[in-house]
A and B are shown apart, each in its own frame.
Chain A
Amino acid sequence: MKDRSAGRRYLLDGITRFAGLAISAALLLALLLVLGYVFLGAGVGFNPGMLISTGNTTSGGLLNAIVGTWLLAGLALAFSAFVGIFVALGLTQYGGSRTSSLQRVAIDALAALPSMVLGLFGYLVFVIYLRMGFSLLAGSLTLSLMMLPYLAKSAETAISNVPKEFSEAAYALGASRWQVTTRVLLRFAKPLIISGALLALSIGAGETAQLLYTAGWNPGFPTWFVGSQVGYLTYVVWAGINQPSEYSHALAFAASAVLIGTILALLAVSKWIENKGAKNA
């Protein structure tokens, strides 16, 4: 350490302490203000009818968008959970070291892709090349690309956390690798996988760029996986605030509030399941 007088060192300490605490408080305050502003804005223009009627961003409500968001994110979760769990199995139970590192690189690269790049890919391949058009299927497939890293990582962590003794005991009893996987590992990994799935769901519900040119928009409900477009909440936020009418803005704020509420709830449940799973292990 440099030779400084004690006074100056304590002054530096005090300044750092003050600056650090002040900045942290300011940061937290700023972020809380953002949330507060959104909820306040939502409260001002809100009317409960918005939650139970369909709408088209200039009139009506959010029901079609809410259902659409759940459909898109839910279907995307199904796709990414399926692949993610298998990837995790490949990394932990079925892997060789060479393929494992390639797998990890692929997953990490997918996680790093910008959302609009995924959206552009989804448009080019699912909407145009594979002729799905703007549809629930195209949107959820694109969204699943974003969710995949979350599921793969959660599943891998979950499976690795299952105590080795469990699988060793099963092997000792003569179980095959598949039996051990399904009956032992996945069973005990379930809480953490579900927790990871809920986290992915919460992030997926808030995505827009992947869906803008794959899901389209629908003032009603989609009729099937392809052949009709889907509405979703983030679109309402984007399109609603872009309109010059007070009502559209109210819809945009309401959609934001619904989104944030849903996301917080999903995250809370995710955390709770994770903690409960840890306790039971």
Chain B
Amino acid sequence: MYPLFNEWAANYSRAVITTQATGSGTGISEAIAGTVIIGASDAFMTNAQVQAHPDMLNIPIAISSQYVAYNIPGLNSVHLVLSGPVIAAIYNGSIRYWDDPAIKALNPGVNLPHQIIVPVYRTDGSGDTNMFTLFLSRSDPWWNETVGYGTNVNWPKNPELHGGVGNSGVIDVLSSTPYSIGYVAMTYTAQIESAGLGYAALINRAGNAVLPSVQTVMNAASQYLNQIPPDGRIGIAFAPGSNSYPIATFEYVIVKKVQPSSAVANALKQFLTWAVSPDGGSAPQYMGKLDLIPLPQPVVQKVVIPLIDQISGPQ
């Protein structure tokens, strides 16, 4: 989110915005504490946090997504088809080799090597892990039961499991470890390409193999239009719809409902409204540059604008 806010800050003339790069956890806690006006996060506040701080708003501002990337010498230009249950089985070790019948069944005609799969996870608590594990939880009952989802989870026992620090660390591990597989944020598209890694087409809820793209991710978000609660907090992984990409998440700004002054409240409302407008902050020049996906307009109208309206100055 930091690069996005930097771009916005540079181009939004009606207010001065300064930014700081931290993790999601810090973003949320500093917004709660009031040390920052806007905390940006790709995970919404937890139930516990909401209960403790009912005066906060979680406003979706963009959508981000993820690649399931791998490094298979000779096959990195091929988009393998993988499904949630297969990936879950890879991570727990029950699918051990790349040429396992389950993978072969999804990829007829692809010459898969008989090599051990090395899965990679994120050691730092991150929204990317949350996104990935939410997809696995919703698509695979075993994963849902045993591992669950979160920014940090109870990874299944697999002696081949390697850890990477940050998205860049994961890409590093993938690049230096042949036959490895991992999850990487879409904001790292350029690095994945220059590292020569491949990425998968994932089987979505409708049973179709879908490649990650702006369109397929927006489709996923649109599917939840009627389910998004008024407070905006919802996970949009494994969306229904024939052309939805199954891994996606809203990016949130966390702000206080009651701002320190009316002037700040109004400036904030103006900025956020601009940010989600397709002519403003959600224009392709910002989103596309950073491989983020803008919110579908119905979502903006139905959920985001009402949330922004709740911001006010002191009563």
Contact = CB atoms under 8 A, between A and B. Distances in A.
Do A and B share a direct contact in the complex (Cβ within 8 angstroms)?
Answer: yes
A248 B171 CA distance: 13
Contacts, number: 18
Contacts of B169: 242
Interface residues of A, number: 6
Interface string A238-258: 000111110010000000000
A182 B166 CA distance: 52
Interface in A218-253: 241-245, 248
Contacts of A245: 191, 194
Interface of B is mostly: helix
A244 B166 CA distance: 11
A67 to B, nearest CB: 19
A242 B195 contact: no
A160 to B, nearest CB: 46
Interface residues of B, number: 10
Contact of B165 (A242, A244, A248): A242
A248 B175 CA distance: 15
A248 B172 CA distance: 12
B189 interface: no
A198 B195 CA distance: 42
A241 B165 CA distance: 11
B168 interface: yes
Interface in B156-191: 165-166, 168-169, 171-172, 175, 191
A241 B168 CA distance: 10
Nearest to B192: A244
Contacts of B194: 244-245
A157 B166 CA distance: 46
Contacts of A248: 168
Nearest to A243: B168
Contacts of A241: 172
A243 B164 CA distance: 11
A266 B144 CA distance: 56
Nearest to A228: B20
A197 to B, nearest CB: 34
A251 to B, nearest CB: 13
A241 B171 CA distance: 12
B33 to A, nearest CB: 11
A116 to B, nearest CB: 15
Interface of A: 241-245, 248
Given A242-B165, A242-B166, A244-B191, 15 more contacts: A241-B172, A242-B168, A242-B169, A242-B172, A243-B168, A243-B172, A244-B168, A244-B171, A244-B172, A244-B175, A244-B194, A244-B195, A245-B191, A245-B194, A248-B168
7 contacts: A241-B172, A242-B168, A242-B172, A243-B168, A244-B191, A245-B191, A248-B168
What are the nearest 10 A-B pairs in CB distance?
A244-B171, A243-B168, A242-B169, A244-B191, A244-B195, A244-B172, A244-B168, A242-B165, A242-B168, A242-B172
